[in-house]
Amino acid sequence: MTGADHDHERFAAAFHRGAEDASAALATWLDRPVTLVVERFVSLPIVAALAALGSGEEPICGCAMRITGAVSGVLLLAAADRAGLALAETLLERPEGSCTSWGELERSAVIETANIVGCAYLNAICAALGPERADGILPSPPIFLRDYPEPVMEAALLEQPTAADTVLLAQTGFVIDGASFRCGLVFVPDAASLAALVNDGVEPGPRP
């Protein structure tokens, strides 16, 4: 197994563990059965990640968290606009199709979900980096974004000085009380953090 293969498996395991922890945390918060499953995990260029998030012809919604600490960068949880509204309906226990626009309650419900999911994933990533990087990963409060894929990614990276060319994408399935949703979780380390990971021997290598 090459170093890149080992690194990819290490981060993939972290994202799968993050899904398990997020499932438990959301189930406790919602008092309902919740399962998150990482259906596909890849590292790829930002342009390819944009294509995976949407066609560019339909808007998407997302919540972005700025990260500092052991690793710096951005974590973005994004979904097709209708899937995001359907998630808000389930979170708010409203009838299917009743949420047609992003009001304050819809945004708040999705932001809180992103906060719980994001923190679970970040804790798993931090654990994957090993005890030598025990200073942790500190997230900012999530911000809500809604636009086409490219502007959403640009807005998420607005305060990041230099984004790395390679990002980690976990395409994830949500099942909440029997209702299913699809989203993409994108982790974009900044260039300095990626260089530090390379020096530590944990660079996530490019995958097809």
- Two structure tokens written together for 158: 């607005």
Q: How far apart are the first and last CA of the chain?
A: 16
Average pLDDT of the chain to the nearest whole number: 82
pLDDT of 87 reads 92
* Domain segments of the chain as ranges: 3-199
> Structure pTM?
0.82
For residues 164-185, average pLDDT: 87
Is residue 8 pLDDT above 80, yes or no? no
| DSSP for 44-92, written as a single string | EEHHHHHHHH--SSS-EEEEEEEEEESS-EEEEEEEEHHHHHHHHHHHT
Q: Return the CATH number of 3-199, one of 3.30.1360.80, 3.90.1150.10, 3.30.70.920, 3.40.1550.10.
A: 3.40.1550.10
pLDDT bracket for residue 107 (50, 70, 90) = very high
pLDDT of 204 reads 39
